[in-house]
């Protein structure tokens, strides 16, 4: 059973907005959704009650809507993809839990994101013990959103140092797992 959101510890929401946006017709920093900058649209949809962190890349700082975040941080190294952004978010997170979301797929953003108590799953990890819930990656075939503990920093830094730099590659590490995405996002998600 999910705990009410009011009893949850503080969680930081980080949005990665430093990519080249190659999937967009025009640069993603200039894209709008329903007449407003994508970052404004996402923050309105998520209605996040805790701290927010915007992660950008060198040369693409201060995209439209950046002022609404608690903080904006810039990756130290450009061109290393979203895993670098995840690590930058962890470097600058002041809460034990971090939800990372990219700016892409904004149209499919749930109306709100609420972190529920993850022990409800009841599934066991490879060692027979319950998995570390705050390191679950949510999404079937998608890398985002990711839910991470701050303590996963060293594992992610080591993975970034290898040739396997995708966020999906984290699933090969002990303690990381993928959780299914519900067909409908309800308030318990």
Bridge partners of 36, per DSSP, are 33
Cite the DSSP H helix spans in the chain.
38-46, 81-92, 153-160
Q: Picking from 75-89, 99-113, 122-136, which range would have the lowest pLDDT averaged per residue?
A: 122-136
Residue 141 has pLDDT above 50, yes or no: no
Q: Picking from 60-74, 76-90, 130-144, which range would have the lowest pLDDT averaged per residue?
A: 130-144
d(CA 64, CA 124): 43
Asked whether 94 and 50 are in contact (CB, 8 A), the reply is no
- Tell me the average pLDDT across 35-51: 88
Task: Report pLDDT digits (tens) over 7-25.
Answer: 667 899 999 987 655 444 3
Domains of the chain: 5-179 (3.90.550.10)
């Amino acid at each position: 059973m999910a705990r009410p959101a009011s009893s949850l510890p503080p969680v930081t929401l980080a949005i990665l907005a430093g990519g080249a946006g190659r999937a967009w017709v025009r640069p993603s920093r200039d894209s709008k959704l329903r007449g407003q900058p994508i970052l404004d649209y996402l923050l309105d949809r998520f209605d996040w009650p805790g701290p927010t962190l915007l992660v950008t890349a060198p040369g693409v700082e201060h995209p439209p809507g950046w002022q609404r975040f608690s903080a904006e941080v810039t990756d130290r190294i450009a061109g290393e993809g979203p895993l670098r952004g995840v690590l930058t978010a962890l470097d600058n997170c002041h809460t034990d839990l971090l939800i990372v979301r990219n700016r892409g797929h904004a149209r499919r953003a749930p109306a709100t994101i609420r972190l529920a108590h993850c022990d409800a799953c009841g599934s066991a990890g490879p060692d027979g013990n319950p998995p570390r819930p705050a390191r679950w990656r949510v999404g079937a075939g998608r890398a985002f959103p990711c839910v991470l503990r701050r303590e996963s920093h060293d594992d992610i830094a080591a993975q970034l140092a290898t040739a396997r730099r995708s966020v999906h590659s984290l699933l090969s590490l002990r303690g990381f797992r993928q959780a299914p995405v519900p067909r409908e996002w309800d308030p318990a998600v």
